[in-house]
Amino acid sequence: MSYFDAASGVPLHPVARQALLASLDEGWADPGRLYREGRRARMLLDAAREAAAEAVGCRPDELSFTASGTQAVHAGTAGALAGRRRVGRHLIVSAVEHSSVLHSADIHEREGGSATRVTVGRTGAVDPSVFAAALRPDTALACLQSANHEVGTEQPVGEVAGMCREAGVPLLVDAAQSLGWGPVEGGWSLLAASAHKWGGPPGVGLLAVRKGVRFAPQGPVDERESGRVPGFQNLPAVVAAVASLRAVRAEAAQEAARLRELTERIRARVKELVPDVEVVGDPVRRLPGIVTFSCLYVDGESLLHELDRAGFSVSSGSSCTSSTLTPSHVLRAMGVLSEGNVRVSLPPGTPEDDVTRFLEVLPGTVAAVREKLGAPAPRTVVREDALVVDALGKRCPIPVIELAKVIGEVPVGGTVRVLSDDEAARLDIPAWCEMRGQEYVGEQPADRGTAYLVRRVS
């Protein structure tokens, strides 16, 4: 089985396993106690904090260990917003942030604050000037991920951090996807990360809050972790997490170059091997191991199941999965095709042969899913001004399949009116038009659902 979902979690690094087993014997005591076992545990905790701070690029007393990356994000946003409440209650996030950041923004709004969600371009990156334009006198905090978890696009954190610093606004960076590859450059103020993204054990996160940032921890607090994170530390897991971070960093430059070659091969070959596919994300400014593409006329859930049966573990941001009936918020914000979406994220050490076999298997798998899915005979009505396709009650990718089947029935300059009540059609029909060189005219309200107008150009 080839595991290609490193963006969700990386298998435990051998160094982390060794450190975890060793610290279970040495680090079980309370590091806050003065007896011998407590002092031994305290030495392990202090050494782990110093090593983690060095990797992050902050002082040891600025770094706290949390129970997860999500907890680090929630604690960081809540504490920074509360600490700067006198300045204002305005929060800025990008539209493609991890759900933990967006959930924090939702809670902030429900509690009476305001939030601006900065749009991104088609590659998934924010425009620094657009981000800067969102800064206001009452902005308490800005959040920007270092790299996107679904498409791998790196964000201009350094430039945005400089603009935030000039405006006197702290910037929180979600570095979960990138920290294993290197420190986050720029004058960020807060940083959150998650150990299972770089081969550490699940249940360990990092929160760095630089000196000078006004920060007021929310909820019950105690004396541990500078008062930012209450509760007894999982010291064996912390030691293992930091050991794995140091280990992957030592190999990062060489492994990044190798994985970039493999993902570039996938990006290039997928477009050659599979018809009607869109490779998304920035082609250059991207993480080493992530490549994402979407296939027209494919049910994302079925494609993932078939790839799993073929021996490949991949993930998807498609709207057609068992967990959601709406497109990924990242793909929606980018304005790219969502149906049949596949995210391949290679963990360090991925054999080249696994990638070769994936490229051999993928074309037949996509073709089989398309054949199995079929295309129901569209009900069409010819009007004087347009051909109408009734795709009401049909989920993606059926509306796009039916559009593709009938576009040739209208003359050049003629229009097709697709009726659909699937939210994914709002994203997928314009994306199909761009891929196939047709003109997307826009949408109109209909008695049921929405009418999407497409003009035949060629």
In 145-285, which ranges are E strands? 171-174, 190-194, 205-209, 277-280
Q: What residues pair up with 387 in beta bridges, in sequence order?
A: 382, 416
- C-beta atoms surrounding 20 within 10 Å: 21
Nearest to 55 by CA among 178, 226, 203, 170: 178
Please tell me whether residue 350 adopts helix, strand or coil conformation: coil
Q: Which two tokens stand for residue 341?
A: 């979406």
Nearest to 197 by CA among 71, 8, 2, 52: 8
Q: What is the DSSP string of 306-346?
A: HHHHTTEE-B---SSBTTBSS--HHHHHHT---TTEEEEEP
305, 318 Cβ separation under 8 angstroms: no
- What's the CA gap between 262 and 287, in Å, rounded? 12
Q: In terms of residues, how long is the chain?
A: 458
Cα–Cα separations (whole angstroms), residue 255 to 7, 243, 351:
16, 18, 11
Cβ-based burial of 51 (10 A; exposed 0-12, middle 13-18, buried ≥19): middle
241, 195 Cβ separation under 8 angstroms: yes
- What's the CA gap between 172 and 192, in Å, rounded? 8
- What's the CA gap between 130 and 355, in Å, rounded? 38
Q: Could you give the residue numbers annotated as active site?
A: 320
Q: What is the DSSP string of 99-115?
A: HHHHHHHHHHHHTT-EE
Please tell me whether residue 167 adopts helix, strand or coil conformation: helix
Nearest to 23 by CA among 199, 232, 173, 235: 235
- C-beta atoms surrounding 17 within 10 Å: 16
Q: Which two tokens stand for residue 436?
A: 């196939």
Q: Give the amino acid at 263.
A: T
